[in-house]
Structure 1
């Protein structure tokens, strides 16, 4: 028996903890979390103390805590997590014994683990020798059973609802019938009711790396909750747009196809890619050189056409104020300006504001987002407002949950709803659509195409 268990997505933290605990530590990589908490606990053995994190979101951590404590009621639970503003919610709602910063030094880490071990012994939940290193195994003692616990489940069972064709029906006939059966899609294009205003939102940033694409994706996700299948997200970062990659989508067509079909509604719809969260995507050009096939005027015409089909049109623009970005701003009702806490980024935003006001292209509805805010940056929100010459409408704190959600191909506001960054982005959605509150009790989580079913 190994007394300590770590479930984590951080290879660096795993390596560090192995150095501290040696053979007393069993590790289950975070990839197994995608299979569900039961799958993780099946592989856990009988630990005395489990450490969960870092880089696990609230829902994942809650599922693991519940499943582990159900099966092992005397287990000691430590959550390894940054000290963020929502920590109080975690402590109040999760059955944990301690919170450990992933940045705690080795001495503090071992001290916390030792104190929890002593507490478990003192309360009759464990024996002192439970925390000794497991005996070394001889080669002859090893069995394939320990390896089989990590094997993928075999697909021996036939899924329910699928039967062999009757004996008197040739196999070829059964295949033909399946091939001829109509494919039912789970979505449609709801008509835009007469008189319903269509809103278009451009997401703009002076430089790359500001989080513009992440905000665009989550804005589309939030708006789709109140207007399912009537939201379209246009990846107008023509050379290096990566929305389909961030959402783990295989595009049906690209913006090159869409601008060519803008005059034909039926053909245009075939170029759109549907996301399971109820919105459509116009994918970016498949390679940088094809961006030349999308003239700025054609992008403007595409936005106008999409506004006649969808309740909300969101345009993720190329960084800066190039010709395509200016055209996009000319055809939208709202603009979301995104910046980080770097002084060069902030000064560039001020220059953008001055230029757009001078040429009359500042949209009527402006939303200023300070992204990846950090108290350790040396600047405050008031400093930011002074530099850009405008108030900040939404402040999104720096959070590892953003990168985790992106790497999983899931919009943040549906992946970790309690994360402070997700809550801040939700407030941005509600600035545009005040009734955009989450309505589903179970948030959909889309698997990547290469994740196990």
Structure 2
């Protein structure tokens, strides 16, 4: 029995639902909607009892499907798979739906909703128990469903909406749903994208990128996104003790061209910024083309005040195309002569290609008076003045091992102060709020 049908443009959600329902699920790709609802209807099995519509379907497509499905399949259960947005109330008011399911809902929450709707259909004579070909978890007496639904406008971040006897939608909150919201970007407001670049690995590029995003989030909470575009060995999530469920591979997927789907690929950090995690393996990283990275940067700039891109060391295709789509570039090197010469070569190449950003910031990391070189020597080698010197400090490694951004871990450390000056070059208003930072540090101390 194929009791369930999914009409969606999200390959990720399709894969997850197939894992939950197996052969009980039939899938109709949303691309068939190009030819109208009837093209989808011809592919919906006759024994379908529950239809899941979305994610990545617009209102007109969903409306056409609901009308066509309910006309041909009397008594069908209808679920819209969509995040809570300002217009969702209109969807529920105007369409004949039984529930709203967030694509981010946990497997347990998703199966709980499907089982409850199945039991309600059985109890109301719209289906037989054998139609679903699986044990159902809940008793009929526990199912206060009715046929029509109205979304409670006061509810936020809905995971699952189920129908109650009072014609109001009960909201079953998924514990995995975050409490933060994305601040809107006002039309015409400036947005900045900053690429962090190094000629070689081991220069401290990722540390700079993490702390830059942290500092910018102080002035633009939840409107900063940090992209780990080191597609081979990116380690931002490890340095921040994050466990992402989605990565940059998902963020550049065709389905993620929808803003709502893209935001589901982000991982939130408690210091008020988001992370696009690197590819989980070099092989998967190869799926991210330079053009898709450029498109991702542009798409994020439409939703976030600041986009920070941690690039792959060197001047590969991905780094070069990132430079074409950012407003600023921070070049990071240490005091080693090979690294300094490599940076000079990078500058010469970028100048020849016409890709040298007008807003260029040069950072010499891990400076040490015992290195045998002075800052003047460094400037002579790379052929450009240094903007920021970050002294060598054990606090950098300690903060990384603790999974805490340095500027929030030890505000008095000289390296932290130097990195703060990088933040101020991008956002002059980002002065540290000392008491707030110290509270955050204590909250991250081990028990």
Question: Which range, TM-score by smaller chain?
Answer: 0.5 to 0.7
Aligned to 2:190: 197
- In structure 1, list runs of 5 or more residues that go unmatched: 1-172
Task: Please state how far the C-alpha of 1:446 moved relative to its aligned partner.
Answer: 8.3
Higher RCO (C-alpha under 8 Å, 6+ residues apart): 1
Whole-Å Cα distance in 1 between the matches of residues 247 and 192 of structure 2?
Answer: 22
**Could you say what the CA RMSD is over the residues aligned between the two structures, in angstroms?**
2.3
Aligned to 2:258: 264
1:255 aligns with 2:248: yes
Whole-Å Cα distance in 1 between the matches of residues 171 and 305 of structure 2?
Answer: 36
Task: Please state how far the C-alpha of 1:361 moved relative to its aligned partner.
Answer: 0.5
**Kept after mapping to 1: 8 A contact 2:214/2:271:** yes
Aligned to 1:384: 378
| Aligned mate of 2:200, from 203, 207, 211 | 207
Aligned to 1:445: 441
C-alpha change, 1:302 and 1:248, in structure 2 (3 Å) is: same
- In structure 2, list runs of 5 or more residues that go unmatched: 1-141, 143-161, 163-169
Whole-Å Cα distance in 1 between the matches of residues 258 and 416 of structure 2?
Answer: 37
C-alpha change, 1:269 and 1:446, in structure 2 (3 Å) is: farther
**Kept after mapping to 2: 8 A contact 1:398/1:421:** yes
* Number of aligned residue pairs: 279
1:331 aligns with 2:325: yes
| Aligned mate of 1:281, from 269, 272, 275 | 275
1:244 aligns with 2:237: yes
Whole-Å Cα distance in 2 between the matches of residues 330 and 442 of structure 1?
Answer: 36
Aligned to 2:295: 301
Aligned to 1:19: none
Runs (4+) of structure 1 exceeding 2 A deviation are 177-186, 445-448
Whole-Å Cα distance in 2 between the matches of residues 208 and 447 of structure 1?
Answer: 32
Q: Give the alignment's TM-score, normalised by structure 1.
A: 0.59
The correspondence of residues 303-452 of structure 1 with structure 2, limited to 5 A, is 303-439=297-433, 441-443=435-437, 444-445=440-441
Aligned to 1:180: 172
Task: Please state how far the C-alpha of 1:185 moved relative to its aligned partner.
Answer: 2.9
Aligned to 1:65: none
**Kept after mapping to 2: 8 A contact 1:256/1:294:** yes
Task: Please state how far the C-alpha of 1:364 moved relative to its aligned partner.
Answer: 1.4
Task: Please state how far the C-alpha of 1:181 moved relative to its aligned partner.
Answer: 4.0
Aligned to 1:223: 216
Whole-Å Cα distance in 2 between the matches of residues 232 and 376 of structure 1?
Answer: 37
**Kept after mapping to 1: 8 A contact 2:395/2:410:** yes
**Kept after mapping to 1: 8 A contact 2:228/2:236:** yes
**Kept after mapping to 2: 8 A contact 1:252/1:270:** no
* Secondary structure in 2 matching 1:232: strand
* Secondary structure in 1 matching 2:209: helix
Task: Please state how far the C-alpha of 1:438 moved relative to its aligned partner.
Answer: 1.7
Whole-Å Cα distance in 2 between the matches of residues 331 and 391 of structure 1?
Answer: 24
**Kept after mapping to 1: 8 A contact 2:411/2:434:** no
Task: Please state how far the C-alpha of 1:252 moved relative to its aligned partner.
Answer: 2.9
**Kept after mapping to 1: 8 A contact 2:224/2:306:** yes
Task: Please state how far the C-alpha of 1:194 moved relative to its aligned partner.
Answer: 1.7
